[in-house]
Structure 1
């Protein structure tokens, strides 16, 4: 069982349910923490326990230094997940969260904590070249690119203090993703569902289709109307699709 809130812990229980038979672990995108999934708690049925992944330097781990190493982030998360295999689990990862999710899967290969279903959202297959690396851009240009990618909710853009707070976190996260070397020899040992936005300018359909290369079992792809953060407006539909798959696991 994961702590509800504990400093230094990479996992936080967002919604606990006494009737839970399935655990959904959600990996947030760059710059975000597990609170981005808080609204999901109201959309999930009682048989699902919702757990969020916390990266260093945000939310309950805000006192820790930021990490620019995706492998180190995944090591810590995998270590804690491996300690709890009391019920079937599934992973959902959006954008950077998809990469962390993939790396955690690699580390859990052969473990009883390996997920029973994986959902990847708005993240290109790791063997495909990155269109343009952003982490080394000057602050002003880096900010413009993030705005172009819809990386900031409007309420953040309207608050300069929040933008200044978020930029170093986003740069660290982009560095972690864009400098990581993936080991691609372990296929997914569970069903793989991939989602994306129809107008996402960086994660196009062919980059999502690339995940088929890693699907050891079944593979499905669903494109939603919207950009890189299509899930902000299509949240109810997305969670509904995920729940229909989770119902097969309980």
Structure 2
């Protein structure tokens, strides 16, 4: 990392150790906090990347920060959190909604002349397909049912009223922004796009991942792992090695 680079304190950094370690920025799923990606950040650092895990408003140490109205505003908020130009070519990794946030972050970065070498898309529908998809739920009971269906959240935590209250605030903020999102088929970034998914994910299929190819003017790949929507929890080290290798 450049000695001149500065970042908001809520950007969680996991140093890769080498002075010239490439920067990998991690964008959590809807309702996800930076803490949930500590394992991936640590694995990326072990693989040789400088990992920077984003914290969205309405959770963790940004609990009182107002929620952006749109995914574009959220991406701009995250872009303004750091001196990304000082890090050289960036790698971006986003899981589920985080992949769309990362895509919009890449658009902002490229418009500012900052090179993004690759966007890693994990278990996410393509930007151009979001608007036609069913709206994400906003009612408490429906959100909880959605969390149970997707997996990735400890059922014991969902029985904790205080946890659920904070979770609902974060999820509603993210879902509201995502429900307003739209993107045309012909919107592209220069960065390569590499997609990853679980072979038993009942929400995001391999064919849905392949729709991302229309959004890059660079290279495109698809890699599938054993598991469901949160396959990444069982393959964290393998995913980190793959991201760092390209």
Q: TM-score, normalised by structure 1?
A: 0.86
Q: Quote the offset at 1:14 in angstroms.
A: 3.3
Which residue is 1:104 aligned to?
A: 105
The whole-number CA distance in structure 2 between the counterparts of 1:82 and 1:191 is 22
Matched, 1:150 2:146: no
| C-alpha deviation, 1:195, in angstroms | 0.6
Secondary structure of the structure 2 residue equivalent to 1:85: helix
Q: TM (normalized to structure 2)?
A: 0.87
Change (3 A) 1:244 1:84: same
The aligned counterpart of 2:191 is 190
Unaligned 5+ runs, structure 1: 246-250
Q: CA deviation at 1:149?
A: 1.6
Verify: 1:206 aligned to 2:218, yes or no.
Answer: no
The Cα of 1:91 is off from its aligned counterpart by 0.4
CA separation of 1:144 and 1:110: change in aligned 2, threshold 3 A: closer
Q: Describe the shift of the 1:151–1:68 C-alpha distance in structure 2 as closer, same or farther (beyond 3 A).
A: farther
1:113-132 aligned within 5 A:
113-128=114-129, 130-132=132-134
Change (3 A) 1:50 1:127: same
CA RMSD, Structure 1 to Structure 2 (Å): 2.2
Residue 223 of structure 1 deviates from its aligned partner by 1.4
Q: Which residue of 2 aligns with 1:134?
A: 136
CA spacing shift, 1:93–1:80, aligned 2, 3 Å: same
Please tell me whether the aligned partners of residues 119 and 194 of structure 1 are also in contact (alpha carbons under 8 angstroms).
yes
Structure 2 stretches lacking a partner, 5+ long: none
Count of residues in Structure 1 that have an aligned counterpart in Structure 2: 240
Q: Map Cα deviations across residues 84-111 of structure 1 (whole Å, 9 max, x no partner).
A: 3333320001111101101111112243
Which protein is richer in helix relative to its size?
2
Alpha-carbon shift at residue 151 of structure 1 (Å): 4.9
The structure-2 alpha-carbon separation of the partners of 1:59 and 1:114, relative to structure 1 and needing over 3 Å to count, comes to farther
| 1:150 to partner: Cα distance | 1.4
**TM-aligned CA distance change 1:88 to 1:20, over 3 Å:** same
- List, as ranges, runs of 4+ consecutive aligned residues in structure 1 with deviation greater than 6 Å: none
Query: Could you list the per-position Cα deviations for residues 168-212 of structure 1 after superposition, in whole angstroms to 9, with x for gaps in the alignment?
Result: 211221111121122554422122110111222221221111001
Counterpart of 1:224? 225
Which residue of structure 2 lines up, in the alignment, with residue 59 of structure 1?
60
* Correspondence 1:2-151 to 2 at 5 A: 2-3=6-7, 6=9, 11-15=11-15, 17-43=17-43, 44-45=45-46, 47-81=48-82, 83-128=84-129, 130-136=132-138, 138-151=139-152
- 1 CA distance for matches of 2:68 and 2:153? 21
CA distance in 1, matches of 2:16, 2:119: 20
Q: Deviation digits for residues 10-42 of structure 1, max 9, x if unmatched?
A: x33233635342111000111112222212344
Provide the C-alpha distance between the structure 2 equivalents of 1:188 and 1:236, rounded to a whole number of angstroms. Answer: 27
In 2, Cα distance between equivalents of 1:160 and 1:59: 17
